Amino acid sequence: MSAGRALPDNSQRGLLLCGHGSRSPSAIAEFAELARAIEVGSGGYKAFAHGFLEFARPTLSEALDSLRARGVKAVDAIPGMLLAAGHAKNDIPALLRNYELGHGIEIRYGRPLGLDARMLAAAARRVREALGGEVEGFQSRYHETLLVVVGRGSSDPDANSEVSKLTRLLWETLGFGWAITAYSGVTFPLVAPALELAVRLGYRRILLFPYFLFSGILIDRIYAALDAAAERWREVEFVKARYLDCQDDVVETFLARAAEIEAGDGAMMNCALCKYRELVVGFEQEQGAAQASHHHHVEGIGVGQNGDAQAPDSASDHASAYATAGAHGHSHGHSHGNGHGHGHSHAPYPHAKHPLGPITLQTTKQVTKRVTKLVTKQVTKQVTKRLSELEATKPAKD
């Protein structure tokens, strides 16, 4: 995409909200509500549209066609993502760049929501709601509660670290007794082993907050893992916080991202620990990888004839592709239009066999078995070591 060149004035420019897409009808409806709020708040654009990377319609290409049909000569595109991971860094900008080259329309690309004061406020609001707000004795409730923040999970360690940062901010600003970060898939630890660890820390109340924008199959899995933990450890109170949804702070942050593009600040994405630009320990093979989309084969798939999303089908959840990273048999050569140039194939995730993850579709029973095996091994090692130490300190027999 273009950066720095003069663009037509606002009367010629459209705004595009780029969503991920879902097979969940509720998630698509929630995203549509967000899109309407952004359209109302944006103003100054000739037209507005939203589209999806996969599993729903309109696709991003169809949304861009719609903008062109309404006379738009240039587009500002903002990724409808929480964090800068593969979709925001690769899949969406690669698709937009291909469209730009193929249709002669200029596209400026902004950055995802990221983590700022507004997003922290939106997250804190959900957590406070789950604990009943600031009622009498509310501070002691935080002190007695362990917080588990669940992020989406990515093969990009920089994006995963942002979830950990959010966990620390919520822990410190609200005063939780303890806090743990977990992920729904791709990386580790997964939700089930994180909850087992949380229980072992001895807190009688555990609050789970999914740092997601909308509902969907992953939210269902996260809550199901919490329900399974509640059934297993009935002496512990487990509390579910709601995902972010279309809060005012979320809408305002999206509008701020659009304003950054208009002000010429659209390329403000933090690249200090980007595995594609920098030599990040453990991910060295991905430095210089090309910007490429791996979702063209599922673009628009999973929608009904009338455009409504079909019911979720876990067998087709693309997240499982990351568990066997490298399964793509193709590669693409491309360059970032926002300053990230590289030539790339889908690199394997280096921790695909980590004992606490990252196989997305494994069952709770499988996760529990793996965790129990790991813990038993560690405890046995510690006990053996201690017994050896005690044996060494015994007085010698005459």
Mapped onto helix, strand or coil, the DSSP state of residue 331 is strand
Active-site residue (options: 20, 334, 336, 342): 20
Residues in contact with 95: Cβ distance below 8 Å, sequence separation at least 6, in sequence order: 53, 60, 61, 293, 295, 296
- Could you tell me where the beta strands, DSSP code E, fall in 277-330? none
DSSP string, 182-213: EESSSSSSBHHHHHHHHHHTT-SEEEEEE--S
Closest among 186, 232, 234, 226 to 210, alpha carbons compared? 226
d(CA 22, CA 39): 21
Contact 292, 344 (CB under 8 A): yes
Q: 334 an active-site residue?
A: no
What element of type H or E holds 170? helix 157-174
d(CA 273, CA 263): 25
Query: Judging by DSSP bridges, how do beta strands 341-345 and 331-335 pair with one another?
Result: antiparallel
Q: Known catalytic residues?
A: 20
